[in-house]
Amino acid sequence: MSELIDDFDRRIKYVRISVTDRCDFRCVYCMSEEMTFLPRDQVLSIEEISMVARAFTELGVEKIRLTGGEPLVRRNIDELVNNIGSLEGLRDFTMTTNGAQLRRYASSLRQSGMQRLNISLDSLKPERFKELTRTGNLEKVIDGIRAAKEAGFERIKLNAVILKGRNDDEILDLVEFARDESIDISFIEEMPLGDVSEHSREETFCSSDEVRATIEARYPLLDSPESSGGPSRYCRMADSDSRIGFISPHSHNFCDSCNRVRVTCEGRLLLCLGNEHSTDLREVIRANPGEIEPLKQRIRESMSLKPHRHHFTTDGDVQIVRFMNMTGG
């Protein structure tokens, strides 16, 4: 039973932990071309992240997702996954990755108890993939997806951010790829996180409704009741096991059932992706080495900081200056 209940009676069952701000890609909607990353001593160590994960599970959290930056560029990531995979009370353990290192890591992640993977894929055209990720290699990511399938993950889901004029002509190709591979796919609306100057977000914004209309022209979609307590809605097609998700962070509809919080790679606990309300867990961990109780106490106290709802806009105003790689997707 979760001990973490906020002032609006929402039970926190899900934590996303960013394990690094670094990445081997520079996706145009996530990072600028030149990035300065945090000095290593400001980032939580593998032991500190393991302790944060343990504290949350002891407080009733059942689901942990590792993200970043790119979690698979973090040194000793397999040790961290192993530590978290053995925590009691954890029912759902997942990672969001760009997939480029999965050939190397997929089977050890699976063996350490990770059940599901989200793999980002915005284009099936090699040159366009390179343009959108700036440094990525499509072939490696496709091979990573195959490695994840071979490793026997319970579910694999692709994440695609759709930008008008950049990859919106590939919506159906991405759906067909997911169908052929018998995996799921979610389409994500671009969020105004970080001041990326490569494109105007106002011009490239493509709503979930537009993506859905494109898919429905070929495959009628049946709404599915599955919900993650987050901004995702799921649909099914009559002739396939693949699920199609739509992630609309701009929608406020999910705030009432929000069951999640995030921890940045610096150990800042963010109570809401769209607000700055936060508390510093690193300070507590480093002031009380090896002691879990002070950390649990700080997490309990932070519940009163969770705001009722977020306030994203699409009018080009960057309200939240953090880059996505700092907060984790």
Query: Which residues are documented as binding site for S-adenosyl-L-methionine?
Result: 29, 69, 120, 191
Could you say which of 69, 192, 249, 274 contacts ligand SF4 (CB under 6 A)? 69
Contact flag: residue 274 with ligand SAM (CB under 6 A): no
Write the CB contacts of 69 (distance below 8 Å, at least 6 apart in sequence).
18, 19, 20, 21, 22, 23, 265, 325, 328
In 124-216, DSSP assigns E strands to: 155-161, 184-188
Residue 8: helix, strand or coil by DSSP?
coil
**Distance in angstroms (rounded) separating the CA atoms of residues 195 and 324:** 10
Nearest to 145 by CA among 97, 203, 193: 97
Nearest to 98 by CA among 29, 24, 37: 24
Contact flag: residue 325 with ligand SF4 (CB under 6 A): yes
Residue 188's binding partner out of ligand SF4, ligand SAM, none, with CB under 5 to 8 Å set by partner kind? ligand SAM
State in angstroms the smallest separation of the CB of 104 from ligand SF4.
Answer: 16
State in angstroms the smallest separation of the CB of 303 from ligand SAM.
Answer: 25
Residue 326: helix, strand or coil by DSSP?
helix
Annotated binding site for GTP: 16, 65, 96, 157, 260-262
Contact flag: residue 30 with ligand SF4 (CB under 6 A): yes
CB atoms within 10 A of CB 210: 15
By CB under 6 A, what part of segment 106-165 binds ligand SAM? 120, 159, 161
Residue 144's binding partner out of ligand SF4, ligand SAM, none, with CB under 5 to 8 Å set by partner kind? none
Residue 26's binding partner out of ligand SAM, ligand SF4, none, with CB under 5 to 8 Å set by partner kind? ligand SF4
State in angstroms the smallest separation of the CB of 73 from ligand SF4.
Answer: 9
Contact flag: residue 68 with ligand SF4 (CB under 6 A): yes
Residue 163: helix, strand or coil by DSSP?
strand
Contact flag: residue 170 with ligand SAM (CB under 6 A): no
Write the CB contacts of 15 (distance below 8 Å, at least 6 apart in sequence).
53, 56, 61, 63, 64, 65, 260, 261, 262, 263
Instruction: With beta carbons less than 8 A apart as the criterion, state whether 270 and 263 touch.
Output: yes
Interface ranges with ligand SF4 (CB under 6 A): 23, 25-27, 30-31, 68-70, 98, 120, 324-325
Q: Using CB under 6 A as the criterion, which residues of the chain lie in contact with ligand SAM when the complex forms? A: 23, 29-30, 67-68, 70, 96-98, 120, 159, 161, 188, 190-191, 193, 324-325, 328-329
